[in-house]
Structure 1
């Protein structure tokens, strides 16, 4: 088989529903090993990420760059690869497109969290940010959770309109909204998928809200207002994607919350039904973890 896969070939090996299921299976696999990722700051606010992980049969490492100066240009902000190895032989099996893996696994993790934690999956769903992650979250919440109605907010109306047309092409209902905070009153599902260069959500969510905040992944970045984070902690529940987020969840750290006391998604899945919240809104804070890339690598090999 081909070893080097482009973006379309990588996406074809990572269909939404199997990817969500594979991520859940990984959280229940005792053989998984994932060390802390290496984050190297570079000039111009860019970062180099090295993220390895393995289980009993598969090893992988993701090596990507994040270059915010590329935002709005023809050059992607995320570039790089995921290299997949066979543990027994040490043989390289695949090289996957890094941005595609990142985009799909991040959205699939949000969908898995919503499967376990969202008080209300009926929709509509508000998506803030109309880029790669906004599109991926729209697709996975439709495919894996059956959401059919979306509201899209973006700094660039043209981007929001393009994503709405994409949703309509998939047979979904979608409309562009100018005020994300005002849309919270109608939307029990929310995903913030922006470059996290500025706060994009300040309003009070519904009592049955589930918010997946995925844009901020360093202590200096934030999409959610500090007061909003404190309100969610007081009224409902906060869950991290992984323990590494204790040091990276800028939204929560800037709100002065004790992130060490916040459970991770693995805790929720392992506890089963006992982990479900009794009520109130839920904030799922995602910063990224190499385990999600390992899950994608496992699925891609099959």
Structure 2
């Protein structure tokens, strides 16, 4: 809706998603990493009561500026209130005008999964699938959708601590014309799945098994030093036998999986480093772990795409 010509267009979750189609969003994120006008300062993370956080994440390029202001409230899990709430406000750099207000959880959900897909496109030794999705929340759904739409994956295995949630996600995948089955043991499923995404609240380790030599794992749940999804021994084994890539340099103080494994995160290659190589980074050198913690640049990419999309 538009209140007046001077006010921004306020988009709800459905309208925001419509402006962020999967394949173009993956491409926009890759384009942003090659744009030397992009400026993204460190995000502000304010701890609140009961394990909640307030995030303020600005960024701009030569034409578009945005800031994301969201809360993350783990206590809302399992209730009718979302764990992530807030907005992304988009500005025109030339005029300073506020152009759009996007639904923050929708932007977060879609850009996070799209970053995983871009990393897989660049890094995964084997994109054939099946793909194991651990966690059947918002990110579980988003990763099924983006890996199908942008990378052509058609076969999924779903693991969740609540079987009903896993069954619901599998049904969603099948409704999209995909093959999907629920598995009770995520570690056992690793033997069949060269693609993996861990999409949990990161309150406990969910993967302890050794991945295949041609595996690509996107670990997206943990974004503080205390959070974890991947067992420390698995992280160390991948560091020794394969490759670890982080989404941005900010992961140096946020990647709980890697920090708890005692790995030196600062200095690990970032997704921007991979994109700048201008080639497929698939060298057959063992499994790849892509650790995603979140970066305002991903929100800026979403803002750029949304601002160009037809209303």
Offset at residue 253 of structure 1 (A): 0.3
Query: Which runs of structure 1 show a deviation greater than 3 angstroms over 4 or more consecutive aligned residues?
Result: 274-278
| Matches of 1:29 and 1:261, distance apart in 2 | 22
Aligned to 1:10: 16
For these two proteins, the number of residue pairs brought into alignment is: 302
1:180-214 deviations in whole A, cap 9, x for unaligned?
Answer: 00000000000000000110000000000000000
Residue matched to 1:217? 223
Q: Displacement of 1:273 after TM fit?
A: 1.7
Instruction: Please name the residue that 2:160 is paired with.
Output: 154
Q: 1:24 is matched with which residue: 27, 30, 34?
A: 30
* Distance in 2 of aligned mates of 1:197 and 1:72: 14
Residues in 2 aligned to 1:69 and 1:201: alpha-carbon distance in whole angstroms: 23
> Which residues of structure 2 form unaligned runs of 5+?
3-8
Instruction: Indicate if the aligned counterparts of 2:67 and 2:90 stay in contact, CA closer than 8 A.
Output: yes
Of residues 200, 203, 214 in structure 2, which corresponds to 1:197?
203
Output the aligned Cα RMSD. 0.8
1:145-294 matches, cutoff 5 A: 145-273=151-279, 275-294=281-300
Long gaps (5+) in structure 1: none
Query: Over residues 218-277 of structure 1, what are the superposed CA-to-partner deviations in whole Å (9 max), with x where a residue is unaligned?
Result: 011000100010011011000000111111000000000011131000000001227443
TM-score by length of 1: 0.99
Contact 1:11-1:100 at 8 Å conserved across structures: yes
How far 1:278 sits from its partner (Å)? 4.1
Matches of 1:78 and 1:106, distance apart in 2:
13
Task: Tell whether the 8 Å contact from 1:199 to 1:224 is kept in structure 2 after alignment.
Answer: yes
Structure 1 residue 61 and structure 2 residue 67: aligned?
yes
Q: Which of these residues, 86, 95, 98, is aligned with residue 89 of structure 1?
A: 95
CA change 1:133–1:82 in 2 (3 A) is same
